[in-house]
Amino acid sequence: MNQGKMKEESLQEIMPDKQTGVCSHCGRPLPLEAAFCPWCETSQNEPQEITLSRISRRKGTGIGLLLLLACIFAAGVIYWYRISPRDYRGGVSVVYTLKGQKCRLILSFNKELKGEEEKLAAYKDELPEGNQAAVYSRLFLRTDSGNDLREEFTENIKEFKVTTVPRDGAVSMRTMESELRKEETGQIGETHVVYGPENGTNDICWDLTMKNGDTIHLEHTMTCELMPDMEVHYEDTPLNTMADIEAVLEEVMENAVPKTVPVLYLPPIEYEGELTLDRCTAKFIGSTEGEKRTTFTGTVTVKTRSPILTDLNNISFEGHGGIGLAAEEGVIVTDCSFRGYDIAADARDGSWIILESCQFEGNGTGFRFASGHATCSSPWYYGLRFVGNDVGIEIRQVPRNTPLELVDCVFENNGTDVVDPDGLVSGY
């Protein structure tokens, strides 16, 4: 008997109860669970094809799709960021990119950029009660490269506005003549801010909207405080002649605290002679007693060259030809009357006469405005009455063609109510 036959018989004797199979290679009997053939040493496990389940395939496809969507979203965000309108907000300055170049926009109250930004950010003034003044808020443009992009920048502005925002319950200041205006100093815009002590502190805000939708916001601060005054009453101090008035003003100039405005309370008498104010600004308040009223008969000339306005209140101007009030600087005139002058109130070049509740009667010309520039302005004229004048109002020129607006003004029996060849007056 050969050796193979003996092994087969021995295997059957050892595992008589085991179910047997055969080798896939040599055909000899094997237990069903045999992993290999002891005769030929051939593996009995058939190779299986391993495939990804449907769930695995779905999971792989989902991850790829998510990655693709994430890339598309990121690209969209970058593109949106580049083309979407942006909001540029700053204080006194802000950096804006135009055509790949950085432009610095700066606000200043000065004609030229001088000093550090903190010095440009705020302006402070003091004025007597009832006085007004004005200052320019200016917008400048600078580039790091030194290139002049003012023209390109202004062409890309869709609209702009300047507003005043009062702080701590103050009154809002007024803005006038806001315009884009290029100057050699680098300025590209300006506005006129009118203020008084009642305005306190205001933020002067510039808001620009560009043609691409970008918005730019800048602001700086204007503060006006009440200037201390020094009252002089006719009951306590002699104020009976023009010489007395001049002596009081001279004493104020020599002894008063700086930036102190004298307030003279005048008696209800008639003053003869002229009064020239060329050194000291003052406020004159007339009085009434029965039919008597403080009256000036000569010319009052104002040429103080001061940002503080001379103030005339409750005074009659009675003349016999000539000029009643000749202004070469800013003057406020309230509740006054003018009669009998060739020119009752004459606003000469460099001045501005602010009139309210005044009457002009029987004059050659009631009010003549012939000023081409001024350190102050107020285009509104309230409650004026022009009766029996050859000419009520004559307009020769106005600073920067600022229109004058008449509010509740009356014209009666004048030869000509208003001479205004350039159309600079409205409201009549």
In whole angstroms, give the CA distance from residue 187 to residue 112.
8
The HSE-up count of residue 74 (CA atoms within 13 Å, CB side) is 6
Neighbouring CB atoms inside 10 A of 140's CB total: 22
Report which of 319, 314, 328 is spatially closest to residue 357, judged by C-alpha positions. 314
Task: Give 151-185 pLDDT, tens digit per residue.
Answer: 999 999 999 999 999 998 899 999 977 888 777 77
DSSP annotation of 168: T
**Pairing state of beta strands 93-98 and 270-271?**
unpaired
Identify residue 2 by its one-letter amino acid code: N
94-134 pLDDT tens trace: 999 988 889 999 999 988 887 666 667 888 988 888 777 88
Bridge partner residues of 346 (DSSP): 326, 368
Average pLDDT over residues 147-154: 90
**Model confidence at 4, in pLDDT bands (50, 70, 90)?**
very low
Instruction: Give pLDDT tens digits for 19-72.
Output: 567 777 777 777 766 666 776 767 666 654 544 444 444 555 667 677 776 666
> Is the predicted pLDDT of residue 407 greater than 90, yes or no?
yes
Domains along the sequence of the chain with CATH:
87-226 (2.60.40), 229-426 (2.160.20.10)
User: Tens digits of per-residue pLDDT, 185-202?
Assistant: 789 999 989 899 999 999
pTM for the full predicted model: 0.63
Phi/psi at 132 (5° precision): -135, 155
Calpha distance 135→174 (Å, rounded): 11
What is the rounded CA–CA span in Å between residue 71 and residue 193?
A: 52
Q: Which residues pair with 339 in a beta bridge?
A: 318, 361
212: left (phi over 0), alpha (psi -120 to 50) or beta: alpha
Residues paired with residue 103 on neighbouring β-strands, in sequence order: 96, 143
